[in-house]
Amino acid sequence: MSRQTTSTIMMIRPVKFRYNEQTAVNNYYQKVLDELDPEEVQAKALQEFDNFVEKLRGKGVKVIVINDTPDPDTPDSIFPNNWVSFHADGKVGLYPMFAENRRLERRDDILGALDNEYGLNVASIEDFSFHEKEDKYLEGTGSMILDRVNKIVYAAISQRTDEDVLDEFCRKFAFKPVKFIANQTVEGERLPIYHTNVMMCVAETFAVICLDSIDDADERKAVIDSLEASGKEIIEITEDQEHHFAGNMLQVNAESGEKYLVMSEAAYQSLTAKQISAIEKHCPIIHSSLDTIEALGGGSARCMMAEVFLPAH
């Protein structure tokens, strides 16, 4: 029986976190913070990271922290869910990345450490990264929202979420795709959202989603129908809330089995009392301040957590 949530999360502790100019071309959530020098940026990001890990562990979530390396230069290494996914049958997915400096985040030694040091079984690797040579990208669980129980993948097609590579993933991992275009307004123009996981999150019994970002009525209906058919309560967020990373959430469970929805402080503060109450009918919320990471990285809580479903040896 597949599970939607895991109690084991892998996170990468940054050494040189900064604004990544290579990703900023189509990640409209990134902002330049001129008032901070590089040392201050790294210190603030590290503080946010450590506090976040502490909160998760405090609730009984097992967090495997892997230290980033100073060389090569990987400013976005704090977001590992884009290059790797871990599955309950021991399969690992490795993904093609849009930004050249993000491709350096894929590290064999991390897979080795999970196997040798943490006793997790890496049975096989499906490597899609060769698609980078064709300028085709699929950035892991940033591009794909996996309903692992119902074997459905929700994907907003964009420059970073290629339909052909998505179809290949679905064939190899036996998922059914639900594809759509999700847009945001940038300087008066509707442009594709770079990652699906900023506009939706699928938990065990509910989904948080910005339906307003799906401009095509038929595509919107197909997403709603799929979520409802798989028994999910739909909790809608607005485009403004999505800009505060209210779609970038992940449900995890403690080793005791208690489930939590994890998000940033900014995401939590953007929610209405009614939305919070709708979520808390299903599970409590964990929220942590990630202001520096969100502003410079253009990603939030969900992006920082790679779910580990690998079986133990």
Could you give all domains of the chain from N- to C-terminal order, each with its CATH number? 8-307 (3.75.10.10)
pLDDT band (50, 70, 90) for residue 28: very low
Q: Which residues pair with 224 in a beta bridge?
A: none
* pLDDT in the model for residue 297: 87
The whole-model pTM stands at: 0.95
Percent of the chain clearing pLDDT 70 (strictly above)? 94
Mean predicted lDDT score pLDDT of the chain: 94
pLDDT in tens, 214-232: 999 999 999 999 999 999 9
With bands split at pLDDT 50, 70 and 90, how would you rate the model's confidence at 243?
very high
Read off the pLDDT band of 205 (50, 70, 90): very high
Mean pLDDT score, 168-190: 95
pLDDT band, very low/low/confident/very high, at 295 (cuts 50, 70, 90): confident
pLDDT of residue 293: 93
Provide the pLDDT confidence category of residue 32 given band limits of 50, 70 and 90. Answer: low
What pLDDT, on the 0 to 100 scale, is given for residue 35? 62
What value does the mean pLDDT take over residues 143-154?
Answer: 98
Note the pLDDT of residue 38.
76
For the cut 70, the answer to whether the pLDDT of residue 252 exceeds it is: yes
pLDDT the model gives residue 204: 98
Confidence at residue 107, expressed as pLDDT on a 0 to 100 scale: 95
pLDDT at 22: 55
